[in-house]
Amino acid sequence: MNMALLAMTADTAQTQDLVTLVPWTFIIQIINLFIQVFLIKKFLFGPINEILEKRKNLADRVIKEAREAQDEADSLKTQYEESLTNAHAEAARIVSDAQKEAQNKADMLVNEAYEEVSSIKAKATADIEQEKKKAVNEAKNEISSLAMEIAGKVVEKEINEADHKKLIDDFIKKVGA
């Protein structure tokens, strides 16, 4: 049992040696910890912070460029819409002008046609009047010559009533022809 007791005591002593605090070891560990923190801060956090700052700057620049591109796109869209509106207005004006011009030409052609018809009608009326006068004059001449002929025949013969009727009937037949 003694041996067992001695072994337990030795184990306890060793355990106490492990748990006990040695001041120089503690100070060296604290210094070691500060050195590690300094080195980590200098060599690890410094580059990491630089990388993060570069990424932040890059993201800010990309956002700024995107906003500028959006503003430019909005400006171009506005210009396009204005151009489109102007083009529609110009097209409507051109169509309106073309319709007015076509209407004017149509009116002018109709007026010319009316004038031409009126001229042709007036000429035809004048020709008809002239032909009518000519026909009347020819009829008068024919009647005069027939009257002269009848008068000549009357003078040549003594006309009785039957002959007189016969001469009038002949005259009417000739005038009718």
Quick one: which of 138, 156, 157 has its CA closest to 146?
Answer: 138
Tokens of 163: 């002959």
pLDDT at residue 67 in the model = 94
**Average model confidence (pLDDT) across the chain:** 82
User: Pick the residue with more confidence: 95 or 136?
Assistant: 95
pLDDT at residue 3 in the model = 66
pLDDT at residue 42 in the model = 84
**What is the b/e burial string over 58-81, where b = at least 16 CB atoms within 10 angstroms of the residue's CB?**
eeeeeeeeeeeeeeeeeeeeeeee
For 131-148, how does the pLDDT look when each residue is reduced to its tens digit (9 = 90+)?
Answer: 888 887 787 777 767 766
Mean pLDDT within 69-74: 94
pLDDT band, very low/low/confident/very high, at 43 (cuts 50, 70, 90)? confident
Q: Is the pLDDT of residue 156 over 70?
A: no
pLDDT band, very low/low/confident/very high, at 30 (cuts 50, 70, 90)? very high
In the chain, where the domains are located: 23-176
Q: What is the 3-state secondary structure (H, E, C) of 86-123?
A: HHHHHHHHHHHHHHHHHHHHHHHHHHHHHHHHHHHHHH
User: Pick the residue with more confidence: 177 or 70?
Assistant: 70
**Does pTM top 0.95 for this prediction?**
no
User: Pick the residue with more confidence: 5 or 36?
Assistant: 36
Q: Is residue 167 a contact partner of residue 153, using CB atoms and an 8 Å limit?
A: yes
